[in-house]
Structure 1
Amino acid sequence: MLTATHIAYLHTCHRKLWLFANGIQMEHTSQLVSEGKLIGESSYSDRATKYTELALDGIKIDYYDAKNRIVHEVKKSNKVEYAHIAQVKYYLYILRKNGIEDPQAIIEYPKLRQKESVLWEQGDQEKIENWIKEVQDLITRAECPALDKKPICKSCSYFDFCYIHEV
């Protein structure tokens, strides 16, 4: 089943997406992933009592304000990334598909002390449906995409896997 993680990885690294979708998952070994979870859990200690967790059609939203129809997504990153926006846009897409009118999202970056509102925009449905097709095309390929060296690789949980043969 397609998840928001697939959508985020589509916008991060096609190799990472393919590996993740084909059962090679490295997140559990990553100190950075653990740090991100800790930041998400500890930055807003009262969050769990105010909002509900919502699992629906392959997505899992940790903090959903059902009254105001707002997704709250906490990110560890030191920078605002398009992959984060794509992930919450996918949440909005799934919520809309399930009859929730005009959902919105807020991405919170506690380390930066910033928030970014993510709204549904004209053309988003078509854009996301194209992302879904692109993900499905990439993950069903017989071969893993080639390594595409990027600055973000150094902080990726797949770094050791991808760079094992590098000098």
Structure 2
Amino acid sequence: MKITGLMVYYYFVCHKKLWYHLKNLNLENESENVGIGKLLDETTYSKENKHISIDNVINIDFIKRWEILHDIKKSKSIEEAGIWQMKYYIYYLEKKGILIKKGMIDYPLLKQRKEVELSDDDRKIIEQVLVEIEEIGKKEKAPDNINSKICKKCAFYEFCYC
């Protein structure tokens, strides 16, 4: 299984959302929040060479001098997932022999940035996460609901709660 950056992101957001994604149930295209995020991505950092896809596994918003990865996020509401997604990007490129100094998560609406680096402990966690993502994909039944405040804005809300 090719494990994408989006899968790692979903792993840290909600295992059920990840399971839906792994089963090819995708409702994100109709989500207003996703649409706002895409618009933000299209209208910011216009001078950068954007949307760099590597092996159809990771999609980097833009890279500075092949040293610093950048990912554009709308808000910090699910910041931990974004941090781990960035760590996975660095990890993945490292496995391909491309050494990246660090990642930056850019929040243009907040005019803020979050610097992200990859430690040895992070590498071990990512390797475990990759195993767990594969295990979630093998499950016949979706994982339990997480009952979080983020659920109400999720494209899968009706699947989980109605």
Fold-level similarity (TM above 0.5): yes
User: How far off is 1:160 after superposition?
Assistant: 2.1
SS of 2:145's equivalent in the other structure is: coil
Residue 105 (str. 1) matches residue 103 (str. 2): yes
Partner of 2:139: 141
Change (3 A) 1:54 1:104: farther
Partner of 1:158: 156
TM-score by length of 2: 0.92
SS of 1:23's equivalent in the other structure is: coil
Q: Is the 8 A contact 2:106 2:112 kept in 1?
A: yes
Amino acid in the other structure paired with 2:48: R
Aligned residues: 161
Amino acid in the other structure paired with 2:54: A
Q: Is the 8 A contact 1:96 1:103 kept in 2?
A: no
TM-score by length of 1: 0.89
SS of 1:28's equivalent in the other structure is: helix
Percent identity between matched residues is 34
Change (3 A) 1:148 1:98: same
Partner of 2:58: 59
Change (3 A) 1:80 1:149: closer
User: How far off is 1:79 after superposition?
Assistant: 3.6
CA RMSD of aligned residues (A): 1.6
Q: Is the 8 A contact 2:9 2:81 kept in 1?
A: yes
Amino acid in the other structure paired with 2:11: L
Partner of 2:122: 124
Q: Is the 8 A contact 1:57 1:94 kept in 2?
A: no
Task: List structure 1 runs of 4+ shifted beyond 4 angstroms.
Answer: none
Partner of 2:75: 77
C-alpha separation in 2, matches of 1:102 and 1:110: 22
Task: Name stretches of at least 5 consecutive residues in structure 1 with no aligned partner.
Answer: none
User: How far off is 1:136 after superposition?
Assistant: 0.9
SS of 1:45's equivalent in the other structure is: coil
User: How far off is 1:125 after superposition?
Assistant: 1.5
User: How far off is 1:122 after superposition?
Assistant: 2.5
